[in-house]
Structure 1
Amino acid sequence: MSNEINDPVFQLVKSLTRSEKRHFRLFTNRQGSNEGLKFLQLFDAMDSQEQYDDEKILQQVPSIKRVQLANLKANLYKQMLSSLRLYHGSQNMDIQLREQLDFARVLYNKGFYQQSLKMLEKVKLAALQAQMPHIALNAIDFEKLIESQYITRSLRGKAESLSEEAIEIASHVSRIHSLSNVALRLYGMYINLGHARNREDHDAITAYFKANLPELNIRTASFLERLYYYQSNVWYYYVIQDFRSCYRYAQKWVDLFEEYPEMKNPHTTQYIKGLHNLLLALYNLLYYTKFVKVLDRLEAFASDKDRRSNPNTDVLLFLYIYTNKINAFFMKGNFSEGVQLVPELLKLLKQYQAQLDPHRMLVFYFKIASLYFGSGDNRMAIKYLNKIIHYKDINLREDIQCFARILNLIAHYDAGDDYELDYQIRSVYRFLGKMNDQQQMQVEIFKFLRNLGNITPHELKDAFITLKEKLITIAANPFERRPFLYLDIISWLESKIENVPVQEIMQRKFSNLK
């Protein structure tokens, strides 16, 4: 017996909507062969299962032999993808254009060169209008092939114009790739390390950014060139913690889609990512009034019945909306209210589990733990922090791995678990030694927690005040601010000094911002 929950064919079958399944059956029945009937039977058998079990498949469909199963699954997978390509073709301009390129190839192979050239010209114009220069370049390459082999009466002047078009479009494509490479590389740096930890990180990231970001004339740049240029700047400034510059370029990213509203449909994911990054910058700047407006805009887009909907955009909208809903609770200090969102969030995390990468899950666990910690429920905070601490790949989001352990220490202290606290201090010290990621804030917290046993109750308040003053001095150093982006340790210390809940301190600070 085999329970292959992650079987790719089974996953694709279970992901289909009712209308997609109906279309697939119609698509399959057109073939009218016994082979087609067999993989449709396999499809129905898989669709009826909650977990994939090949033994039950063979029992349900006796006409399928064990030796046939692997080939039938491969054929079923191919047929489903072909059906989905046809079903969603009308909603995806790139699929339509590539189909027309295929038609042009068929006409070319049949010897209908003029018809093929006409179709290629249409593809080229449509691709350029849709900001898909790579497809336009494919069409031009095909045009050049036909013009170089056959006399079509259009060769006079055509060779020069095709060459000039190819050179111009290729230069745009080259810049797009260069810019998108920079954006992707900077994002990869953030996924691995988080924000710049020190001067060395800052200088290395800055050196890479300046050496690899191509010069760009914004006035003549294409939509995609500007988009990736803004993205690269957003990630650079976000990683080095220059949130004002990050905000400026994130706003340019979003404004670009207002300048080209027709691009929201073919580039939906980039549009909502722009809104999300704008929200991240506003969150770090504590610009709440603008934050709420942008979040409302993101939620309005999600609820727009006319927008393009597919599982990819739906999962991104879920990620971005709930991440920023939680951030709104953090800004206001309404942790108890935020905790009420957790059951709904956990349900959706389970629903989208197949589409979520480990990085996203770690981020949500940290945010959930922070909500519980802020509300005073240390046991629940520890529960979700342990999900991060026990994650096997410690190289993923080293920053979250690090600060989850720091918050875990504080939660154990607040919970009054002295035995566990001693163990956690030793464990975290070993972990940070391996990560080579001890900053001054962490060192001071360690010193404080280690010396707790030597501090008498009447001296405790003064000890909190001393630690707070040290941390305020540390936070004045730009390269030591990183830890404070993850833990508002100052507010926690103030809550201990004043003997009030931490969320009361943060709510007071939020009121003073308005």
Structure 2
Amino acid sequence: MAELQKDFLFVLIKSLTTSEKRQFKLYVNRLGINIDAKFLLLFSELDKMNEYDENIILQKKISTKQQLSNLKAHLYKQLLVSLRMNPSHQNYRIQLREQLDFANILYQKGLYKQALKILDKTKQYALELDEKSIASEIIDLEKVIESQFITRSIAGRAEELIKQSNAVSKQNQYTTQLSNLSLKLYSEMLTHGYVKNDEGRKEILDIFNSQIKNIKPFKLNFTEKLWYYKAHVWKNQLLQDYKYTLKYAFQWVELFHQNPEMIASHPVWYIKGNTYLLKILFLYGNIDILEKHFGNFNKMVNSQSFAQNENLQSLIFLTHYNTLMNIHFIKGEFFTGTKLIPEIEMKMEKLRDKIDEHHFMIFYIKIAAMLFGSKKYNESLEYSKKIIESKGMVQEDLLFHTRILILMSKHESGNDEDYDEFIKATLKFTHKMKKPEAFHFESIDFFKNLNNLVLNKRQEAFENFDKKLSIFSKNEYYRRSLFYIDIHGWVQSKVQNVDVIEIIKRKVKYKKRN
């Protein structure tokens, strides 16, 4: 797995479909290249391999050690050129770039009129699609050509180009501001996680307000609004303000529904918007609305009009199956949910080179929790151990809660052979966390003491811990922690002496009424 990830050329070749391989060979033949050319021999050899092995290439004398790097680079470039020509990879951005390239070629040949005609047509198309960066490049080239090719309409033409240039420049400024802000907030979320105190909240608000204060939403066009909503979604996620996360995630998705032609232009952001919307609806636990939006999402991404490529397929897979599992969690349908596991793992393996390990670990966490809910404690332990052995592929909060799930599974299964050692390791891990909280230490103390109590004292321990968890759940900064693994629902089931599924179903009924 590690070797496969290191060699980009091998990964690219293994991602090719049969038709893409056939087109590559046709492309090479059209170039009139000798069939025994070294880069073709390298392509054939890599295509046969199941795992990348440089020694085989050297043993077969396809290349020397010194030449191999250059040969691989040449093959990589030729593959990309071939893929660029493939109709399945054509999209409007590639077409716009292609037209701009054509205009550049005509300009260099001194065919100014022809170049300007292509540029004008391409510019209108770019502006319609809200592709301001490309439009800006087109206007810049128009300026260069107009300054060399004098026409009778130069005065009016100059004013027109200046006006267009200023308008696009201002729009690009808004887009840059908003996209930088969105990226900064997203980076904060990945690096430091959700805010855990008032000081962290103030830092995020200062970053956000300093960038957003001069932005007037009613003046924004599609792309600017898209970045505007993204920034608000990520800010409110950081602040754990789910009411406003839901508001802006909904506006993000609705923006596409109001401009359906943009779904084809920005399919990735359509999927991402739905991902956040479906995720926040899960956290709210409103099953009716969640299932409605999930149905709308599936209908759109499976329609004939929706773009299809490997990247989109992997994103759709993540959103679809994460949401499907979330729906089973809300309903407490653990046994039904476990039936998805073979299907998910099969698709995970198929998309292994297209999805990062972090997302795989998220699936393992959900699978482990689903198996726990189905009372398959030993299987839950197996998946949980994959996560804590992942060497930093998962956020520390998720790693901590996986450890809690392991302790819950050990308690339920009676598999406490290394229970005390695992408690010590978990305490050591918690001390190394960036910002450990009272919730983390209280949880460890609970499990540490639980194993040493006689049976008639354990009920009292569950009751006391239930009270502490109720206090934590009222604190906005701890709220997120209690969503990962439903430790509170498990503790309540022990206090009330009912199955944890009953606790979950009661929550669903309560939220439906509200």
- Calculate the TM-score normalised by the size of structure 1: 0.93
Q: Are the counterparts in 1 of residues 252 and 273 from structure 2 also a CA contact under 8 Å? A: yes
The answer as to 2:12 corresponding to 1:12 is yes
What is the CA-CA distance between 1:67 and the residue it aligns to?
5.9
Displacement of 1:179: 1.0
Q: Which residue of 1 aligns with 2:363?
A: 364
Question: Residues of 2 paired with 1:117 and 1:313: CA distance?
Answer: 35
8 Å Cα contact 1:193-1:399 kept in structure 2:
no
String of CA shifts for 1:157-209, please: whole Å, max 9, x gaps.
32222122112101111211221122222222222343222222222222211
Residue 358 of structure 1 deviates from its aligned partner by: 2.5
The alpha carbon displacement at 1:354 in A equals 0.8
2:264 aligned counterpart, secondary structure: coil
Counterpart-to-counterpart distance in 2, 1:430 and 1:87: 54
Shift of 1:436: 4.2
Check whether the contact 1:376–1:501 (CA below 8 A) recurs between aligned residues: no
Does the aligned pair in 2 maintain the 1:378–1:415 contact within 8 Å?
yes
Query: 1:206 and 1:31, CA in 2 relative to 1: closer, same or farther beyond 3 A?
Result: same
User: Could you list the per-position Cα deviations for residues 269-323 of structure 1 after superposition, in whole angstroms to 9, with x for gaps in the alignment?
Assistant: 1111111111011111111101001111222233223321100000000011011
Amino acid aligned to 1:373: F
Superposed counterparts of 1:196-215, under 5 Å: 196-213=195-212, 215=214
Aligned residue runs from structure 1 range 47-66, under 5 A: 47-57=47-57
| Native 8 Å contact 2:287 2:508 kept in 1 | no
Counterparts of 1:159 and 1:47, CA distance in 2: 55
Corresponding letter in the other structure for 2:145? I
Aligned residues of 2:100 and 2:119 also touching (Cα < 8 A): yes
Q: Residue in 1 aligned with 2:395?
A: 397
Percent same amino acid at aligned positions?
Answer: 38
Q: How does 1:24-423 map to 2 (within 5 A)?
A: 24-34=24-34, 37-57=37-57, 69-88=68-87, 91-213=90-212, 215-393=214-392, 396-423=394-421
In structure 2, the CA distance between the partners of 1:36 and 1:185, relative to structure 1 (3 Å rule), is farther
Change over 3 Å in CA distance of 1:477–1:58 after alignment to 2: closer
The structure-2 alpha-carbon separation of the partners of 1:350 and 1:214, relative to structure 1 and needing over 3 Å to count, comes to farther
CA distance, structure 2, for counterparts of residue 489 and residue 22 of structure 1: 54
**CA gap 1:100/1:350 in 2 versus in 1, 3 angstroms:** same
Using structure 2 for the length normalisation, give the TM-score: 0.93
C-alpha separation between the residues in 2 aligned to 1:200 and 1:36? 66
Partner of 1:473: 471
Q: Alpha-carbon deviation of 1:128?
A: 0.5
Matches within 5 A, 1:416-435: 416-435=414-433
Cα distance in 1 for partners of 2:202, 2:64 equals: 62
Show CA shifts across 1:363-390 (max 9, x none). Answer: 1121111112222222222222222222
Give me the whole-angstrom Cα distance separating, in 2, the residues matched to 1:220 and 1:89: 36
In structure 2, do the counterparts of structure 1 residues 128 and 253 end up closer, same or farther at CA, with 3 Å as the change threshold?
same
Call closer, same or farther: CA 1:5–1:407 in 2, change over 3 Å.
Answer: closer
Q: Do the aligned residues in 2 keep the contact of 1:334 with 1:507 (CA within 8 Å)?
A: no
Tell me if structure 2 keeps the 8 A contact 1:279–1:295.
Answer: yes
Structure 1 residue corresponding to 2:506, chosen from 501, 505, 508? 508
SS of 1:478's partner is coil
- State how many pairs are aligned: 511
Distance 1:5 1:324, change over 3 A: closer
Alignment partners' CA distance in 1, 2:184 and 2:191: 11
Query: Aligned partners of 2:65 and 2:368: how far apart in 1?
Result: 48
Q: Distance in 2 between matches of 1:77 and 1:89?
A: 19
**Deviations 1:450-501, CA, capped at 9 Å, x for gaps:** 3225533223222211221222122212222222121322211121123333
Instruction: Pick closer, same or farther for the CA change 1:430–1:90 going to 2, 3 Å.
Output: closer
> Whole-Å Cα distance in 2 between the matches of residues 9 and 122 of structure 1?
37
How many angstroms apart in 1 are the aligned matches of 2:422 and 2:488?
A: 21
Following the alignment from structure 1 to structure 2, what is the Cα–Cα distance between the partners of residues 193 and 499?
Answer: 38
Between stretches 96-105 and 409-418, larger displacement belongs to 409-418
Aligned partners of 1:89, 1:344: CA distance in 2, in Å?
A: 27
Once the two structures are TM-superposed, the CA of residue 5 in structure 1 deviates from its matched residue by: 6.6
Q: 1:471 to 1:273 in 2, by over 3 A?
A: same
The structural deviation recorded for 1:332 is 0.6
SS in 2 for 1:447: helix
Aligned-pair Cα RMSD in Å: 2.3
Higher mean C-alpha displacement, 137-146 vs 449-458 = 449-458
Secondary structure of the corresponding residue to residue 479 of structure 1: coil
Quote how far apart the aligned CAs of 1:69 are: 4.2
Q: In structure 1, how many angstroms separate the alpha carbons of the residues matched to 2:95 and 2:83?
A: 13
Matched residues in 1 for 2:72 and 2:509: separation? 60
Deviates more, 1:454-463 or 1:228-237: 454-463
Q: Counterpart in 1 of 2:495?
A: 497
Q: Write the letter of the residue equivalent to 1:23.
A: Q
Q: Which stretch shows the higher mean deviation, 245-254 or 71-80?
A: 71-80
Q: Is the CA contact 1:23–1:83 (under 8 Å) kept in the aligned structure 2?
A: yes
Q: Is the 8 A contact 1:295 1:324 kept in 2?
A: yes
Report the Cα distance in structure 1 between the residues aligned to 2:36 and 2:140, rounded to whole angstroms: 37
Per the alignment, residue 483 of structure 1 pairs with 481
1:451 and 2:449 are equivalent in the alignment: yes
Name which of structure 1's ranges 491-500 and 123-132 shifts more when overlaid on structure 2. 491-500
